[in-house]
């Protein structure tokens, strides 16, 4: 498992969907399953558009001051002309309504610079997610030429924070290294007007076909009933995607390998899913639910692992209380690795989403923050950040959970469209869906089960 993680991260590196490294990673994973004696296949799905950053540069200028500032394009940022886009750089505070009111007409046609807090943990990350959509909406509403986030990571570490509009975005959006953004803010607040010239070279393209890799160990008693354990193999490319989500991807491969090695025979079919396109609107798992629509009634469980290598403390059980006792029984063999506390709320943000919105029982492993938050989507998400010992313990927990549902004596029913509608109305699901740019598709009936 450790050798796999090193090959995937150090060898293949960052692997955004649609990049050559992404193609290589999925071929590599297919080979790992086959090497382990596990049936595996590449399953195509449709990506609605290509988005890759080729390069990003920026220069800040004022009277008697010029400096280059490292930047990266945020996901789905538009590019600029090769000569760059030059516009005033203005201090938009934290990007609140009050901040824009204070800026007044100065936001129009300008790059708005948004100050951030240090991102220290998962709470900080979730705060960022919650705010990002609002911040973007206000920037667009104020007529800004583009949006510049101060990096929430220390010094000059950069990250691609997910933006909320997906391919529908029509503005250049970037993150600027914290030190340079702090310098720009001090100058602006000291009364020095600044301009920013941003050169964002973006490779974009039309819809194309990408692949998930699905390994399968067929059930001995109920082969047509399916338990999915999944992690996404795609990653952003500033770092090499060790925590997000190489570690859990190689864990999924390794659980398949161990089951095969021990010649264990699950009652139900287990599918080991390495999703693609997760970082770009969860498209791989969405594609799977479309391609396997006829089988979804027989999907007993879909679990996702996507929060690095911190200790698994329990699961998000998708707002379905009946899952909790079953899960408790599944975890009994690994009780010593607990305690486990389950959060019975629906979670948006990873590959459980389309299963959940199809009414299929779903789990997302909840994990201690460890170093996941600070390295999230960042240049620093590298092999050396993975806690290999805890990853091994997490593999035991994930294996027990998967095995529990694969051998369960009954099935949990699929939820109806009406039940899902109630879930959306009675929780904060809609807000989360907006943050991850999947709400409109739900409302339009294009994604998820609608009445």
DSSP calls for 253-310? HHHHHHHHHTT---SEEEEEEEE-STTTTSHHHHHHHHHTGGGGGGEEEEEE--STTS
For tokens 């739900």, name the residue.
442
With residue 6 as reference, give the H or E element that holds it.
Answer: helix 2-6
Per CB under 8 A, the segment of 2-10, 132-140, 159-167, 413-421 that binds a copy of itself is 2-10
Among positions 11, 49, 109, 223, the unique one binding a copy of itself when judged by CB under 8 A:
11
- For the CA atoms of 103, 160, 178, 86, what is the dihedral angle to 10 degrees? -50
**Rounded-to-integer distance, Cα 336 and Cα 129, Å:** 34
Among positions 2, 6, 84, 414, the unique one binding a copy of itself when judged by CB under 8 A:
6
Nearer Cβ to a copy of itself (159/424) = 159
Among positions 13, 48, 88, 223, the unique one binding a copy of itself when judged by CB under 8 A:
13
Nearest distance, CB of residue 78 and a copy of itself, angstroms: 23
**Does residue number 372 form part of the binding site for a copy of itself (CB under 8 A)?**
no
**CA distances from residue 415 to 296, 334, 349, 449 in whole angstroms, order as listed:** 11, 29, 20, 9
**Is 389 buried (19+), middle (13-18) or exposed (0-12) by CB count in 10 A?**
exposed
Nearest distance, CB of residue 270 and a copy of itself, angstroms: 30
**Does residue number 151 form part of the binding site for a copy of itself (CB under 8 A)?**
no
Closest CA relative to residue 188, chosen from 277, 131, 112: 112
**Does residue number 324 form part of the binding site for a copy of itself (CB under 8 A)?**
no
**Does residue number 380 form part of the binding site for a copy of itself (CB under 8 A)?**
yes
**CA distances from residue 365 to 184, 196, 424 in whole angstroms, order as listed:** 40, 42, 21
Closest CA relative to residue 203, chosen from 60, 54, 328, 91: 54
**Does residue number 196 form part of the binding site for a copy of itself (CB under 8 A)?**
no
**Does residue number 182 form part of the binding site for a copy of itself (CB under 8 A)?**
yes
Nearer Cβ to a copy of itself (5/112) = 5
Per CB under 8 A, the segment of 177-185, 195-203, 323-331, 388-396 that binds a copy of itself is 177-185
Contact between 277 and 234 under an 8 Å Cβ cutoff? The reply is yes
**CA–centroid distance for 243 within its chain:** 11
Among positions 104, 105, 339, 384, the unique one binding a copy of itself when judged by CB under 8 A:
384
Nearest distance, CB of residue 239 and a copy of itself, angstroms: 7
Among positions 183, 222, 260, 414, the unique one binding a copy of itself when judged by CB under 8 A:
183
Nearest distance, CB of residue 3 and a copy of itself, angstroms: 8
Among positions 37, 141, 143, 155, the unique one binding a copy of itself when judged by CB under 8 A:
155
Nearer Cβ to a copy of itself (13/93) = 13
> Dihedrals φ, ψ of 64, to 5°?
65, 15
**Does residue number 192 form part of the binding site for a copy of itself (CB under 8 A)?**
yes
**Does residue number 234 form part of the binding site for a copy of itself (CB under 8 A)?**
no
Tell me the H-state helices in 292-410: 323-331, 353-356, 372-375, 388-406
**Does residue number 186 form part of the binding site for a copy of itself (CB under 8 A)?**
yes
Bridge partners, residue 90, by sequence: 112
**Does residue number 67 form part of the binding site for a copy of itself (CB under 8 A)?**
yes
The helix/strand/coil state of 317 is coil
Among positions 33, 353, 355, 383, the unique one binding a copy of itself when judged by CB under 8 A:
383
Nearer Cβ to a copy of itself (383/442) = 383
Which residues contribute to the site for a copy of itself (CB under 8 A)?
Answer: 6, 9-13, 24, 64-67, 155-157, 179, 182-183, 186-187, 190, 192, 239-240, 379-380, 382-384
């Amino acid at each position: 498992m450790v050798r796999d993680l090193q090959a995937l991260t150090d060898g293949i590196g960052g692997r955004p969907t649609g990049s050559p490294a992404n193609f290589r990673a999925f071929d590599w994973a297919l080979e790992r399953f086959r090497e382990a004696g596990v049936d595996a296949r590449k399953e195509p799905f449709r990506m609605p558009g290509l988005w890759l950053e080729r390069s990003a540069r920026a220069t800040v200028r004022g009277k008697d001051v010029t400096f280059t500032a490292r930047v990266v394009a945020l996901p789905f940022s538009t590019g600029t002309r090769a000569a760059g886009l030059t516009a005033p750089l203005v201090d938009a505070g934290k990007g609140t309504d009050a901040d824009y009111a204070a800026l007044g007409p100065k936001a129009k046609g300008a790059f708005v610079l948004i100050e951030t807090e240090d991102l220290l943990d998962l709470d900080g990350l979730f705060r960022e997610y919650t705010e990002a959509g609002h911040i973007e909406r206000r920037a667009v509403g104020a007529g800004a030429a583009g949006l510049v986030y101060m990096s929430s990571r220390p010094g000059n570490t950069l990250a691609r924070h997910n933006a909320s509009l997906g391919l529908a975005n029509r503005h250049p959006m970037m993150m600027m290294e914290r030190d340079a953004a702090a310098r720009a803010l001090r100058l602006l607040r000291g009364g020095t007007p600044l301009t920013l010239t941003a050169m964002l070279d973006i490779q974009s393209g039309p819809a194309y076909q990408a692949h998930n890799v699905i390994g399968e160990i067929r059930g001995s008693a109920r082969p047509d009933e399916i338990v999915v354990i999944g992690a996404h193999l795609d990653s952003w490319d500033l770092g090499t995607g060790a925590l997000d989500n190489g570690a859990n991807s190689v864990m999924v491969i390794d659980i398949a390998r161990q089951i095969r090695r021990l010649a264990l025979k699950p009652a139900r079919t287990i599918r080991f899913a390495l999703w693609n396109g997760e970082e770009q609107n969860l498209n791989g798992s969405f594609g799977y639910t479309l391609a396997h629509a006829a089988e979804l009634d027989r999907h007993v469980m879909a679990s996702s692992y996507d929060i690095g290598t911190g200790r698994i403390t329990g699961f998000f059980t998708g707002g379905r209380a009946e899952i909790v006792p079953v899960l408790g029984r599944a975890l009994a063999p690994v009780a010593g690795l607990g305690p486990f506390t389950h959060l019975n709320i629906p979670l948006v943000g990873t590959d459980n989403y389309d299963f959940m919105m199809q009414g299929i029982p779903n789990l997302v492993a909840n994990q201690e923050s460890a170093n996941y938050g600070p390295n999230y989507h960042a240049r620093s998400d590298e092999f050396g950040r993975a806690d290999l010992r805890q990853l091994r313990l997490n593999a035991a927990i994930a294996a027990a959970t998967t095995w529990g549902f694969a051998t369960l004596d009954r099935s949990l029913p699929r939820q109806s469209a009406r039940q899902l509608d109630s879930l959306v109305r009675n929780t904060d699901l809609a807000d989360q869906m907006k943050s991850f740019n999947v709400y409109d598709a739900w409302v339009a009936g294009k994604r998820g089960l609608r009445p």
